[in-house]
Structure 1
């Protein structure tokens, strides 16, 4: 009776210990004497993703004789963060190609377990949905590399994958950061400004650390400023064009009116033109007769002819038509 009881206690205790570990599994060391006996856990920021060995040290775990290791949940953040496991050689090896670290996304609500295998850090199982999406992204990228595509050709479909398939904001940020490392982010933002502005709104509404996407905010602020300057310049050119058109139309209208006046005046005789000009100066019939040394009746005859030829009824209409103020 005592042995079964101890066995049950052992199982419960083992389960509790396992439940307290967020990270566990095995480091597969072919020659353990060449490696340190500790595994390091570091927290990464997106800006350090491309730099090996960078990150804030979180904890160190001892490697067991069978290669096992584990990290308690207390070392892991409540929300999704980017972490790196790494191990160092005791001494450097020439032409060393062994990858000495592995990156992953995790929160203390999830688990990640590394399996035994041929690689230093072999395949792993995880319950973190963001990490599962990142694995899909890396698998997608790996397949493109396997097809011997150029870096430009490889990046174009990857951009589409990041924007159209991935639903986890952190994974989107990782993909965008990789675009930036290839100096393609500015071009992509310029071509897809609405997408990035919407993404920024999603990020700002999320629980992600603002520092994680600060680089994107700065990038968008700069490009938005450039865009506004272009819009302002275009607006200025449009206003200048409209103003030029108004001036040209006004000039053309004045010119047409002058031509009309000249054509109307041309039908008048020399004496009728003189009488017309004196009328426009405000002279009375008597004043016109005295100035031209003609009779008052002759002045009236000239005025009647002028009104008839110019199609006006009185001095007021003549003035309006001559000055271009007629409606």
Structure 2
């Protein structure tokens, strides 16, 4: 009987301890009280605010203190994000959860279900600048960000094409080596995503490096060993295979002097560019609609005339209103769009 009680007690104690606690402080005078916790399962979406990633939200108290706790997280390390912002509930409904928020502060960290994480204020009451955790991998992303800041400083010392090329080669290797030294393949994915980003100046080095560097296969092995069932592992494996397929296809085209595959790649690239352009256009349209939704119907009409470079007098005559009324509408438009001039207003809608 005593043995059963002891076993039951141990099981109960283990269950009680198997929970996470992520806490910290925000500045209640600067940020909204709502604090969000997200799980990042796509390493291409580490930076930004995505509604599908959010798993919990809480409210900070009068001192700015907040806490997330429970036992629903994975038993393995995963990437999480805590963020705060200055958006009101109305703004959030309109344009907050669309992949970006210009007025937010975020922290990426690594954690599992049994971890404790504290985010105290740093110098100047800045949020999310320090991490205290029982998980030694928790602050890996802060270390990577610190290295990137060193990189940006090196680029800025001499602004020339020659300096940029030298730094590209140096920092490409430096970032890879640093990722390996972290001994946390999930954190390495942040570096891999940065180096392989097609919009980055470093992408050409990645394409060349992928052909003769065993680093990428070694990273795949580390991921498959440490996180065989994690979504990051499958995503990395698929991306690596796709990039190598594209490279091998290009090599085959050159060796056989055949234009068939080249045309296929060009067609795929063309369609992809069309799709990306469509996505960009769609995002711009969505952003424009979100901005216009802040205005009244009358202000939207006045805005359309402003975008056509009409004078206040012209707009007044077209709408059968006084010039002073048009000026009032114009000032209200500037205030709601958070701009100071017509040129700034036009820049939001005309690219």
TM-score tier, shorter chain, comes to 0.5 to 0.7
Match of 1:23 in 2: 22
Structure 2 Cα separation of the partners of residues 226 and 53 of structure 1: 30
Question: Given the alignment of the two structures, is residue 115 of structure 1 paired with residue 120 of structure 2, yes or no?
Answer: yes
- The unaligned stretches of length 5 or more in structure 1 are 1-16, 238-327
The alpha carbon displacement at 1:195 in A equals: 1.9
Match of 2:9 in 1: none
Distance 1:126 1:177 in 2: 25
Whole-angstrom distance in 1 between the partners of 2:52 and 2:215? 30
Partner of 2:37: 41
Deviation at 1:75, TM superposition (A): 4.1
Query: Could you say if the C-alpha distance between residues 171 and 46 of structure 1 is closer, same or farther in structure 2, counting changes exceeding 3 Å?
Result: same
- Given that residues 25 and 113 in structure 1 are in contact (C-alpha distance below 8 angstroms), is that contact kept between their aligned partners in structure 2? yes
Paired with 2:24 and 2:77, the residues of 1 have a C-alpha distance of 20
Matches within 5 A, 1:1-327: 21-31=20-30, 35-44=31-40, 45-53=42-50, 55-91=52-88, 99-117=104-122, 118-147=125-154, 148=156, 155-164=168-177, 165-181=181-197, 182-183=199-200, 184-185=202-203, 187-191=205-209, 192-225=212-245, 228=248
TM-score normalized by structure 2?
0.51
User: Structure 1's 189 and 129: CA in aligned 2 closer, same or farther, altered over 3 A?
Assistant: farther
Q: Deviations over 1:252-308 (max 9, x none)?
A: xxxxxxxxxxxxxxxxxxxxxxxxxxxxxxxxxxxxxxxxxxxxxxxxxxxxxxxxx
- Cα deviation, residue 42, structure 1: 1.0
* Alpha-carbon contact 1:28-1:122 (below 8 Å) kept: no
Q: Report the secondary structure of 1:131's partner residue.
A: coil
How far apart in 1 are the matches of 2:194 and 2:128? 23
Q: What 5-or-longer segments of structure 2 have no aligned partner?
A: 1-15, 92-100, 258-351
Of residues 78-87 and 44-53 in structure 1, the stretch that sits farther from structure 2 once superposed is: 44-53
Q: CA RMSD for the aligned pairs?
A: 3.5
Deviation readout 1:295-325 (Å, 9 max, x if unpaired): xxxxxxxxxxxxxxxxxxxxxxxxxxxxxxx
Contact map agreement 2:108 2:141 (CA 8 A) in 1: no
Q: How far apart in 2 are the matches of 1:54 and 1:155?
A: 34
Task: State whether residues 88 and 100 of structure 1, in contact with CA within 8 Å, keep that contact through their aligned partners in structure 2.
Answer: yes
TM-score (normalised: structure 1): 0.55
* 2:38–2:81 contact (8 Å) kept in structure 1: yes
Q: Decide whether the 8 Å contact of 1:162 with 1:172 is kept in 2.
A: no
2: CA distance between counterparts of 1:216 and 1:18? 33
Q: Cα deviations across residues 207-266 of structure 1 (Å, max 9, x unaligned)?
A: 2545314443334324444555577789889xxxxxxxxxxxxxxxxxxxxxxxxxxxxx
Query: In the aligned structure 2, how far is the partner of 1:41 from the partner of 1:203?
Result: 24
- Larger Rg: 1 or 2? 1
Distance 1:101 1:211 in 2: 22
CA drift at 1:134:
2.9
Q: Secondary structure, in 3 states, of the residue corresponding to 2:61?
A: coil
Q: Secondary structure at the match of 2:109?
A: strand
CA apart distance, 1:186: 6.1
- Residue 87 of structure 1 aligns to a residue in which SS? strand
Q: Distance in 2 between matches of 1:157 and 1:129?
A: 28
Distance change (3 Å), C-alpha of 1:153 and 1:80: farther
